[in-house]
Amino acid sequence: MDRETLLVLGPPAEPLMARLRALAADFEIVAGDTPEDFERAAPEAAIILAWFTSRDLLRQVILMSPQLRWVHIFSAGMNHLMSAELVASRAVLTNAKGVFSQSLGEWALGAILYFAKDFPRLLHDQAAHRWAPFEVLEVSGQTVGIVGYGDIGRAVASRARAMGMRVLGLTRHGPLPGRPDDFAEEIFAPADIVRMIEQSDYLVVTAPLTQETRNLVGQAEIAAMKPDSVIINIGRGPVINEEALVRALSEKRIKGAALDVFHREPLSGDHPLYSLKNVLLSPHCADNTPGWLDNAMTLFLANLERYRKGEPLANIVAEKELGY
């Protein structure tokens, strides 16, 4: 393969750039965070790595790159970078699916145990120097419903099953006849979401944000939750109707919520979610493990080696307009 041009949209001083520069014999690597940084190289560029960048910069660089063959997004979720130009591009689009699934699955399981064992009460009593035994719940035998039963959803499911929980999943296409799942007892289509929610003690949202999933868990769906159920969101904030959720939590119509993502981030200091004692908040860092960026780079470099050898790329986004 001739030496091709790889554009990296992100700070040139990023430490992980050293792993890319080791490939200088095979690729001309140009990094930057403004359109001007790519004016010379973009006309001949074959690859874009969208590392830390904005939708607008990615859109502009795509328009500057007529020879583009491949765009890689370093995250699994891509709604923050999607544009008409990216969807219309003939370039293959890939993402980092799988890199963050295990840590998110662990966080969801931690949130389930947080409410089942009433850790807030333990912490409160400890701080008050109070010895006050109480009953805790077993999660074994309880049901977890997973909205968005993809790679992250299955990471949640495998851990829930290991704890003896019953698993239900919801996918865009619903159940596939003759294809039982390793973890989920039943797969639902979006039209049947209420039926799944009515059975769920824990509702875990892992769905990406698309036109189809925005407000997928709305007022009617939240109303269908059991009074002692908990909702957990590790997908994207707008998949849940935040106003309806705040009302349900404030009125204690559901037991609680564990949220890593929100409609607007960062969450404003006066947001009502901060004041609710039945809410566990995480500042969109549930998958920020010590090696998460290094793992994301490792995945890209493995895909780059496939590209160099002319092999099929991994993690191809088949439907760009949907983002997965």
Token pair of 300, please? 């890209």
Token pair of 279, please? 């809410």
For residue 43, is the peptide bond before it cis, meaning its omega torsion is within 30 degrees of 0? no
Q: Is 276 within 8 Å of 231 (Cβ atoms)?
A: no
Amino acid in position 188 = F
Q: Is 287 within 8 Å of 100 (Cβ atoms)?
A: yes
Find the DSSP H helices in 136-291: 151-162, 193-199, 219-223, 242-250
Q: Is 221 within 8 Å of 254 (Cβ atoms)?
A: no
What is the rounded CA–CA span in Å between residue 116 and residue 136? 6
Helix (DSSP H) and strand (DSSP E) numbers for the chain? 10, 12
| Sheet of 4-9, strands arranged across | 27-32, 4-9, 45-50, 70-73, 92-94
CA-to-CA separations, 91 to 18, 62, 78, 150, 184, in angstroms, rounded: 26, 9, 16, 24, 35
Token pair of 183, please? 């973890």
Q: Could you give the 3-state DSSP secondary structure of residue 12?
A: coil
How far does CA 246 lie from the centroid of its chain? 22
Q: Is 259 within 8 Å of 229 (Cβ atoms)?
A: no
Residue 121 among the catalytic residues = no
Q: Which is catalytic among the residues 80, 253, 271, 284? A: 284
Residue 129 among the catalytic residues = no
Token pair of 31, please? 């990094």
Q: Is 184 within 8 Å of 172 (Cβ atoms)?
A: no
Q: Which is catalytic among the residues 265, 305, 319, 321? A: 265
Q: Which is catalytic among the residues 59, 72, 154, 236? A: 236
Residue 306 among the catalytic residues = no
- Report, as residue numbers or ranges, the catalytic residues: 236, 265, 284
